[in-house]
A and B are shown apart, each in its own frame.
Chain A
Amino acid sequence: MNRQSTHSTCNCFHCGLPVGAGTGYHALLEGVERDFCCLGCQSVCTAIFEAGLQGYYQRTPEGVLLAPPPEPPRDIDIYDLDEVQQEFITRSGDLRDIHLLVEGIHCPACVWLIERALQREPGVQLANVNLAARRIHLRWDSKLNKLSNLIRALARIGYSAVPYDQENAEGVIKKSNRSMLFRLFFAGFAMMNLIWISIALYSGADKGEFREFFYWMGFVLATPTLLYSGYPFYRGAIGGLRAGRLTMDLPITIGLSVTYAYSTYITVTANTIGAVYFDTVTNLIFVILIGRYLEGMFRHQALSATKRLTELQPRVATVMQDGKEQITPTRAIRPGDHVLIKPGYKVPVDGIVLEGRSAVDESMLSGESAPVNKSAGAKVTSGTVNTNGALLVEVSTTLQDTTLAKIIRLVEEAQASKAPIQRLADTIVPWFVLVTLICATLTFLIWYGKSFELALMAATSVLIITCPCALGMATPMSVAVASGLGARHGILIRNGLVLETLSRVTHFVFDKTGTLTEGKMSVAVMRSAPGVEISDILRSSAAVERYSEHGAARAIIAEADMRQLNFRNVAVQGFHATPGLGVQAEIDGKTVLLGSLEWLARNGINPDAGLQAHALELEAQAMSCVHCALGTVHVAVFALADKLRGDAQQLVNELRAAGIGMTLLSGDRKAVAESIARQLGGMDVIAEVLPQDKDKEIQRLQQSGAVVAMVGDGVNDAPALIRADVGIALGSGTDVSVESADIVLMHNGLDKVRLATLLSRRTLRTIKQNIGLSFIYNVIMVPLAMMARVDPLVAAITMPISSLVVIGNAARIRNLFNHEKP
C-alpha cells in the first residue's frame, strides 16, 4: 500500500505520471526529495504534507492512478455574496448547508483527505463526501468562515468545487419517480403474498375450513394495495373524465373497482357460489405500474431547459463606480450602469460598448461560428462570451428584458402551446372502453333472466377478463426496449413518446452551424503569390498565430499541424494583435502580417492584384479570407470556411430519396447558408433568421400539414426544438438545446438520424403488433366470459400470459440493429 516504495523516481510523486527530463518540479518532503510532473501536482502535494495529511498517499488503493489536479474554479469570491448563496444553501441561524459538486475525486482515499482537510477548517460542522455522486455535503458556521475559504482549501489539495443546487437539479421528477417506485414495491409485496394464498385456494383450500380465512387475508392485502398503489389510476381516470376524455386509466379503474367490489361482496356475505379475485386486483396494479414506471423514466424534463437558460446569464458583473471596480450581483445592476467585461468572461447584460475593442463569441445565440468584432457603439448580448479584449459597456437592459430572457419566454411559450402527442394507443382506448362497457351491460341483461347472481358474476368477469393489461403495456414496454437499444447506439431518447411520431415525419428542418457543419472554421483554400512556396508561408503564419486566440488562428494552426509542418520552434518576436484587424510579429527580422486587406493597407502594403481577385471570388462563396504579408509583400491568402460534417451529405441524400422535405434555417448570412445548401444538392433556405422566426417557420410548416422534425444544437434553436413534433439535438450542443430536444445524438453522428428513424418505425410496428395481440386475446376470452364460462383459475393463467406475450414481443426490438455496428 505504500506508494513511496511503489513509485520509481521518474514518476510524479503525486499522480504517478511519468516525469519528463528537466521539468524541474521538486519539493523536499519529510527530508526526501520528490519529483513532480507539473506545478499543480507539486503545490497540491506540498499542501497535503503541510497539513499533515500525508496518510492520504498510504490510503490510495494500489493500482489507482491519481490525476493531476483540475484547474481551481474562478471567481470564488462571488459565492460569499448572500444573493448568490441564497440559491444553493439552506440555513438555520448562522449554520449553512450546501452541496458542492467536486471535480478530481477518484478513489476512497480522496474521501478521507477531503473530509479530514475540511474538518480542520474553522467553523466546519459537517463535511460528508458522496463518492458515487462526487458531491460534498457541507455544513459550516457563516460567522466563523467564508464559503470561498473552504472552496480554496479544497483547491489547495487538488479538488475543484462548485456549489450545486440539488433541489432544482433533480427535485420534482426524482420525487415523483420515487413515489411511483414505492407504490410499485408495495404492489409487488402484496402480489407475492396473494399468490401464495391463491395457490392454496386453487389447490383445494376454497372447499375447506380455511376458505373464509384466506378470503379475508386477501381482502386485507388487496385493500391497501388498491388505495395506495392504485391511487394514480383513479386520479388519472377522474382527471380524464373531467377533461371529457376516455383514457386508459378508465377501463383499468373500472376493472379494478368492479373486481375488488365483487370479491369483497363474496368475502363479506360468505357466499359459496362465487370466488374472489383479489389476486387479479394486485397483479393488475403491479404489472401496469411497471409500465408506468418505465414510462416515467423517459418523461420529458422540459422544465429544466428554462433553468439551464437562466444559468447562462452570469450571476455577477464588474460595475465601474467612480473609476473603481465593484463586483455586483447581476440583479442589482440598473440600466445606465457601466459594466467592465474582461476577456474570457461572459457578458452579463445587454448593452452598448463605450470603450474597447474585442471579438465576442455569439455562437450560442446566433449560431454564427466566427467571433464578431465589437468596438464602441456596438451592441452586446448577455450570455455571449467576450474573447480577447476588455470592453466597457453601458447597460441598456438587464435580466427579464435581455435577448436571452426573450428566448427563455419563447421556450416557455412553445412548451405551453405545443399540441400534445397523439399516441396510437390513445386513439384506440376510448373505443376499447366503450365496447367493453357495452359487452358487460349486454352480458348482464342476457343473464338477468336466469338469475341476478349469475348475471352479476358474468358481467364482472367480462370487465375483469378484458383486462387492459396487455393494452396498457403495449406502448411503454416497446418504448422502454427501444430507448435502451437507442442508448447503446448513441441515440439518447429523452421523450419516448416521439418514437411513434418520428416515423411519420414528412419534413426535416436543419440548423446550419454546428449541425450540418462542424461549427468551427477550417482552412478551405490556400493560394500564394507566384513563386512563393505555400507551405513556407503556412509555417510562418502558424508560428505567429499560435500566440493568438482568434478562431482564424486556430484554423491556420490546425492546418499546419495536419500538414505536419514543424512550426512550434520557430522563434517569433514582437507579437502584437489588433482586435478586429489582424496580428503582426517578426520572424528572423522579417515582419509577418496576418489579417484583413485593410490591416495590410494600414501597414503600407499594396495588395497583390491576383490574390485580391482570388479573395473576392472566395468571399463570394461565403468564405472569409485571411491575408498574409512577408516583409512588405502580399504573399498569400487563406480562405476559411465552416466545413460540412462528414455524414451530412449521406443523410441529406437518404432523406431526399425517401421523399422527405428539407429546410435549412440559419441565423447566418444568406450567401453562407445558400452555399451550404448548394453543396448538399439544394434545399429550401431561410437565412438570417432570429430565434423567434425559427419557431414561427416550424409553426408555419405544421399548419400546412407537415409533421416536422428539427435538428439543431444552439440556444437559439431551443424554442424550435420544442415546437417541432420531434426535436433532435446534437450531443455537443449547448445544454439548453439538449434539454429541449426529444432525442439527443451522442458523438454528433448525423447518420444516427437514420438509425433513429429505423428504430422509430420498428417501435411503431411493435406497438401495433402488441395492440393486435391484446385484441386477439380479448376476442377469444370475452365471448367465453359472456357465456359465464371463465372460472378464476382460467383467468389467473390467461391474464399473465397476455402480458408476457406483449413483453416478449417488445423485447424482440433488441435484434433490430444486429447488423449495424454499435
Chain B
Amino acid sequence: MSVIYSLIPGMMFLGLVFFVIMIWAVKHGQYEDMEGNANRILQDDDEDMMP
C-alpha cells in the first residue's frame, strides 16, 4: 500500500496541471468562439494548389 505515497501527490499534481491549463485556455480566448474555428477547419483552402 505504500504506493499511495506517490499516487496521491501524483494525482494532485495532475489535477493542478489541468487547472493551470484551463486557466491558460480561458485567458487566451480558447472559449471565445466555439463555432467559428470548428467550421474553419472544414473549409478547404487548397484549390489553387491542386494539380
Contact = CB atoms under 8 A, between A and B. Distances in A.
B17 to A, nearest CB: 11
B19 A132 contact: no
B36 A111 contact: yes
B1 A217 contact: no
Interface residues of B, number: 23
Given A112-B43, A217-B9, A178 B36 contact: no
B9 to A, nearest CB: 7
Contact of A132 (B4, B22, B23, B34): B34
Given A193-B15, A220-B12, A213 B36 contact: no
Residue of A131, A178, A210, A213 with most chain B CB atoms under a 10 A cut-off: A131
Interface stretch (A182-190, A240-248, A695-703): A182-190
A658 B18 CA distance: 57
A213 B4 contact: yes
A132 B1 CA distance: 50
Given A131-B35, A132-B36, A210-B4, A189 B15 contact: yes
A133 B34 CA distance: 10
B39 A108 contact: yes
Given A108-B40, A182-B23, A217 B12 contact: yes
A129 interface: yes
B43 A130 contact: no
A189 B42 CA distance: 35
A131 B39 contact: yes
Contacts of B47: 55
A668 B47 CA distance: 65
B49 to A, nearest CB: 14
B47 to A, nearest CB: 7
Given A108-B43, A217-B9, A221-B12, A189 B36 contact: no
Contacts of B9: 217
A59 interface: yes
A129 B43 contact: no
A59 B43 contact: yes
B40 A111 contact: yes
A130 B34 CA distance: 9
Interface string B1-23: 10011001101100110010011
A220 B16 CA distance: 12
A428 to B, nearest CB: 36
B45 to A, nearest CB: 8
A112 B16 CA distance: 38
A602 to B, nearest CB: 61
Contacts of B33: 130-133
Given A213-B5, A217-B12, A111 B26 contact: no
B36 A131 contact: yes
Nearest to A59: B43
Contacts of A59: 43
A207 to B, nearest CB: 14
B35 to A, nearest CB: 5
Residue of B11, B33, B42 with most chain A CB atoms under a 10 A cut-off: B33
A220 B39 CA distance: 43
Nearest to B27: A178
Given A193-B12, A210-B1, A217-B9, A133 B40 contact: no
A131 B40 CA distance: 10
A129 B40 CA distance: 10
A55 B50 CA distance: 15
Contacts of A111: 36, 39-40
A58 to B, nearest CB: 9
B13 to A, nearest CB: 11
A131 B37 CA distance: 8
B4 to A, nearest CB: 6
A186 B22 CA distance: 11
B34 A217 contact: no
Given A130-B36, A217-B9, A189 B43 contact: no
Nearest to B36: A131
Contacts of B4: 210, 213
Nearest to A208: B1
B23 A108 contact: no
A178 B26 contact: yes
A148 to B, nearest CB: 26
Contacts of B8: 197, 213, 217
A210 B43 CA distance: 56
B6 to A, nearest CB: 11
A109 B40 CA distance: 8
Interface string A186-230: 100100010001000000000000100100010011000000000
A99 to B, nearest CB: 11
A253 B36 CA distance: 44
A797 B31 CA distance: 37
B11 A193 contact: yes
Interface string A129-158: 111110000000000000000000000000
Nearest to B22: A185
Nearest to A209: B1
A253 B34 CA distance: 39
A221 B8 CA distance: 11
A709 to B, nearest CB: 38
Contacts of B23: 182, 185
Nearest to B29: A130
B36 to A, nearest CB: 3
Nearest to A129: B36
Nearest to B37: A131
A132 B32 contact: yes
A178 B11 CA distance: 26
Contacts of B22: 185
Contacts of A108: 35-36, 39-40, 42-43
A194 to B, nearest CB: 10
Contacts of A55: 47
A273 B40 CA distance: 62
A186 B12 contact: no
A111 B35 CA distance: 10
Nearest to A131: B36
Nearest to A214: B8
A51 to B, nearest CB: 14
A186 B19 contact: yes
B40 A130 contact: no
Interface string A767-779: 0000000000000
A366 to B, nearest CB: 41
A182 B19 CA distance: 9
Contacts of A186: 19
B19 A189 contact: yes
A59 B22 CA distance: 33
A178 B22 CA distance: 12
Nearest to A107: B39
Contacts of A112: 40, 43
- Of all A-B residue pairs in the complex, the 4 with the closest CB atoms, nearest first, are A108-B39, A131-B36, A130-B33, A131-B35
Interface of B: 1, 4-5, 8-9, 11-12, 15-16, 19, 22-23, 26, 32-36, 39-40, 42-43, 47
Given A132-B36, A133-B33, 13 more contacts: A59-B43, A111-B39, A112-B40, A131-B36, A131-B39, A132-B32, A132-B34, A189-B15, A189-B16, A193-B15, A210-B1, A210-B4, A213-B4
8 contacts: A108-B40, A131-B39, A132-B32, A132-B36, A133-B32, A193-B11, A210-B4, A213-B8
